[in-house]
Structure 1
């Protein structure tokens, strides 16, 4: 692709086009690849120097040029003088924001794949993963080949690829969307994290539908305040066109405000509040949920093996998105029924001894409270045994939520075991001590730094009729200690304990 085509719609502050003392035109420069990692540069690539949280790409410009980059995009004009580029035969392009520029360049290079798909973006603190899987199932049931991008994995049809980020960097994201198009996908559903919005990873993407699930405390280590967290989520809807739909949760106080600057057509859903799509006559059991969806004066019955009021909300969001995408009602209902389980999301494992373990990704106060309230709602006091909760809080993340989660777990559980999540570069015991700061005296709370021992302790306390909630990691099959990932899977630990007791 020519450099002139690469730069279409890209704001440029300065361009130095003198190579070996001779002026070159952008349509004469051929770009064969785009990279922001200098180690991946090949001949005739364009290198984007990005200031990251750990390192600064401007420090690696000389390495990128040595590896064959013929175009360098950077923010700091003074980082390397024009003379370096002239003698190296490299075009120098100065921009005001390298991250935004990378997103626009990636979309251009891969020929705007999002415009060739019906792209659905789901954002919110909790519920993103389940909602994306529901929408994928709805679209597949209607006969489409669908891609998925999210926390658990990336998928193209039935093919699965590991996910390192909930939302990939803009370059990998556009590449993945282009692969979906090439492999025959007509639609894609993706989780859109607040980090990705703040870091402009989805800039330039053409969303057909944007879904807002909820906004509760999380990621304040990154955003600094709830107002800034809200502002990041709002970016998704601010960039949507008048041809698109914003599907908004009316039960959340942020739902009415999140799309106030959006050109998108708005539709609302609600479990406890009036909305365009409203849940009524909700029946919940351990086996799942059944309820009516009231919309446009008519009522439709939906059934799902997913349970809990929080999942009723997720199902409503997916149903509304299906309607916005023009999927026939019966296919929407069938697609909801077809999704049996989402890995690590209120995932139940029954023991031969009569107790049940539940694995959930709940790592925020709201998600943990929803899980525990659902357990209590599904298992009334007169027939329920004890609720034992095992959880921890991640290191190098929002510290403010730690005592809040400690209080919630202690209030809604009979026994709590506070342990490690992904301690990263923090002292695991110090994290536990901060969680304990929210626990009211007199509650039955144990602490155990070793997550494996904590799970064994919890399962050892369980008897027939008891429920053990193992929260925080869900689908994850690793634990991050320091800067190292060690294999660890809550499901494997629970299944191992069941085998040992059999």
Structure 2
């Protein structure tokens, strides 16, 4: 866990226009319309003294009878009846916005000592103020109480790991829907609560929104929901107060070391999900040492899964003794069909239409998690046969834009994910080449930049290094780090790879298409579904899928139709 003073590097300040950077309480929602869209329509009021008792905070005077019907960390998203949580921000304290929150209808404030001192220096606050040492750590508990999110809530599946979280949640929902379930989703790409999609700006929203969404799903009668659970979500209390019915683990590879410092700390943060206060049961992929350690140390019932039985890595991790095993994977079109066998002899036939061995892993994990959630194997097999749920398109995850050349957009933004994506798109056709466009994110773990460059040089024929999201860092310096890895590997290992530097990113994508023939494969990696590129605090419109489609069309290639890609 990071020290209490650590600032969440993916906190909302990174995702709002430059003009909003002085507002530390801006969250993933903005304004009352967004706030109400996350919440159930009807919320029974909770007395303030009941809230105080639940979190061990003194409620002043006669304020205990104050009735609370919502909670927000964002003064702009306050609705009448809300408890406003005033937290320290990157530039200013949320207490500076109490007046704005009260004007919008806040009936009480929860803050820390610093916030209380700021309020004492200002004019009188006309609503009760509750003071706690670490109010952020209490928000999940309060939100769960207000929205009653754990009472009669949908069966909840949480997926963590470095890679594969998004696709696995989509696969879980697709299989559940094939089983006749009504599902919800909280993830990187979008949020679904039985209605129109709500764009998602964080892998996991703030805990206030998570509990409101679960309350909304309960109100709408949804049967189940899937959620991506990032290490940031665990570190910064975004899933506090949430109890998952089944938690799933994909893998652990280098990422987010700018936050966690070491792989051991990164692992321990992920492992928090697999404890009784956060999940009832778990499914853990044990094809590496991290998965094996997690399965052995978890304090909740664990079902183990191996996707690569018999390999050296699996043997080291002890995966050959796993409860479920993937057997006999075989190519079928762009995807793979395989068998999934339990140690008791139960066997399922599974297919995914998405390319790559990692999607076999995602499909297997989704299947076992649904089984762990209480569904019968025979019913699951019938759903797999009738609906082919694991061929669902996942935006920005191995998303096919054209077939000749094969042009793919993927979110791969760390060394392991990039290697898997490049291996997955390599065509067996003689003479075909892999052309990749990628970069690295600014103000994140710098050690992975040269590693990604070297991986690209080893696995692609043409490497075009460009920009990802530089944030406030110098874009040229980021490219220089990536190029050093690519050119170093190319020279030292005599790889005969063409390494280019092309920017801005849209120019790099055009260059890739210009160099491609119908038999080649283009992989544009790193940004996936994202439609904005942040440069020096300004969000610039940029969608890799749109740029790739437009470049292909301009060069006379035929592109696939996808209604979700808007030019």
In structure 1, C-alpha distance between the alignment counterparts of 2:297 and 2:85, rounded to whole Å: 31
Distance 1:238 1:129, change over 3 A: same
Partner of 1:302: 350
Contact 2:152 2:218 in 1 (8 A): no
Shift of 1:258: 2.7
Matched, 1:90 2:127: yes
Shift of 1:78: 7.5
SS at match of 2:436: strand
**Which residue of the other structure, out of 386, 389, 392, is the alignment partner of 1:338?**
389
Matched, 1:279 2:331: no
Which stretch of the first structure deviates more once superposed, 455-464 or 332-341?
332-341
Matched, 1:326 2:380: no
Listed as ranges, the matches of 1:74-223 within 5 Å are: 74-76=111-113, 79-80=116-117, 88-113=125-150, 116-157=153-194, 159-223=196-260
In structure 1, C-alpha distance between the alignment counterparts of 2:471 and 2:78, rounded to whole Å: 31
Contact 2:95 2:115 in 1 (8 A): no
Shift of 1:461: 0.9
Distance 1:277 1:158, change over 3 A: farther
Matched, 1:246 2:282: yes
In structure 1, C-alpha distance between the alignment counterparts of 2:231 and 2:506, rounded to whole Å: 31
SS at match of 1:454: helix
In structure 2, C-alpha distance between the alignment counterparts of 1:83 and 1:454, rounded to whole Å: 55
Contact 1:115 1:206 in 2 (8 A): no
Matched, 1:360 2:445: no
Partner of 1:20: none
Shift of 1:360: 0.7
Contact 2:443 2:470 in 1 (8 A): yes
Distance 1:484 1:31, change over 3 A: same
Matched, 1:314 2:362: yes
In structure 1, C-alpha distance between the alignment counterparts of 2:90 and 2:291, rounded to whole Å: 31
Name stretches of at least 5 consecutive residues in structure 2 with no aligned partner: 1-45, 309-313, 315-319, 492-496, 557-567
SS at match of 1:293: strand
Residues 162-202 of structure 1, C-alpha deviations (whole Å, 9 max, x = no match): 11111000111111111111111021100011111101111
Matched, 1:257 2:293: yes
SS at match of 2:294: coil
**CA RMSD across the alignment:** 2.4
In structure 2, C-alpha distance between the alignment counterparts of 1:144 and 1:500, rounded to whole Å: 43
Shift of 1:388: 0.8
Name stretches of at least 5 consecutive residues in structure 1 with no aligned partner: 18-22
In structure 2, C-alpha distance between the alignment counterparts of 1:86 and 1:29, rounded to whole Å: 21
Matched, 1:234 2:282: no
Shift of 1:24: 1.1
Distance 1:266 1:192, change over 3 A: same
In structure 2, C-alpha distance between the alignment counterparts of 1:38 and 1:157, rounded to whole Å: 27
Distance 1:8 1:300, change over 3 A: same
Matched, 1:500 2:554: yes
In structure 2, C-alpha distance between the alignment counterparts of 1:422 and 1:173, rounded to whole Å: 26
Matched, 1:347 2:395: no
In structure 1, C-alpha distance between the alignment counterparts of 2:124 and 2:470, rounded to whole Å: 48
Partner of 1:451: 505
**Which residue of the other structure, out of 41, 62, 66, is the alignment partner of 1:24?**
62
Matched, 1:431 2:469: no
Distance 1:68 1:153, change over 3 A: closer
Residues 103-150 of structure 1, C-alpha deviations (whole Å, 9 max, x = no match): 111111101246522111001110001100111011111111100011
Distance 1:82 1:165, change over 3 A: closer
The alignment's TM-score, normalised by the length of structure 1, stands at 0.91
Shift of 1:436: 1.3
Provide the aligned length of Structure 1 versus Structure 2: 488
**Which residue of the other structure, out of 51, 55, 68, is the alignment partner of 1:6?**
51
Residues 299-347 of structure 1, C-alpha deviations (whole Å, 9 max, x = no match): 2221121221111111111111011012232443434722422121112
Shift of 1:81: 8.0
SS at match of 1:184: coil
